[in-house]
Amino acid sequence: MQKEKYRLESDLKSAELKLILLFEELILLKSMQPEDLRLSNELKKCTESKGFIIKEIQEISKKLISRRAEVEDIKEEEAKLLSQFHELVDTNHEHYDQILAFYEKITKKRRKPERVKQDDADGDEDGEEAEEEEVEEEDDDDDDDNFNPQFGEGEVKIDEIERLRDNRLHLYDQKEAI
């Protein structure tokens, strides 16, 4: 019985030690609980933020793909315009370089309307004044627009080249806006 008593007391003491250890762990866990909740909430916010960012990346990727397609379409249109230009002007023409420079020239009058539109969009009430300035600048560019090298059939081809240039500048503006 004595041996049994010592064994039971030993078991009881070891159970008490385990109980004390478990209470210490419980106190430690309770002290960590607020920090754990804070970190859990932070993780939840970060996970939501990650999902939102991934969604934005997907939307931006879709927009990028569509913009690239638009730019490619514009490049194709520019290539078509250049081929039409080459149909009008032979590369062996004596003034080919001058005519090509005229075709490729980016005029200021094409840039001004874009600025006026942006000013109006920003709530600028002076749109009429800006349009008057634009008209004045257009008059300055008329010297360059009346470029007419000695060309076989004259005005018809220059008018066509000018129309092609205006179309190219419009495409240029679209591509720059993208």
Please give the Cα distance from 10 to 12 (Å, whole number): 5
pLDDT at 151: 52
pLDDT at 125: 44
pLDDT at 135: 37
pLDDT at 157: 73
Is the pLDDT reported for residue 116 higher than 50? Answer: no
Q: What is the mean pLDDT of residues 31-49?
A: 96
Is the pLDDT reported for residue 57 higher than 90? Answer: yes
Q: Which of 178, 176, 4 is nearest to 106 (CA)?
A: 176
Contact, 89 vs 154, CB < 8 A?
A: no
Please give the Cα distance from 21 to 29 (Å, whole number): 12
**153 three-state secondary structure:** coil
pLDDT in tens, 147-157: 445 454 455 57
159 confidence band (pLDDT: 50, 70, 90): confident
Q: What is the mean pLDDT of residues 157-175?
A: 82
Residue length of the chain: 178
- Strands (E) in the chain, as ranges, are none
pLDDT at 141: 43
Is the pLDDT reported for residue 168 higher than 50? Answer: yes
Backbone angles phi, psi at 90, to 5 degrees: -75, 145
Q: Say what percent of the chain tops pLDDT 90.
A: 40
pTM above 0.85, yes or no: no
109 confidence band (pLDDT: 50, 70, 90): low
pLDDT at 22: 97
Is the pLDDT reported for residue 138 higher than 60? Answer: no
108 confidence band (pLDDT: 50, 70, 90): low
Contact, 68 vs 178, CB < 8 A?
A: no
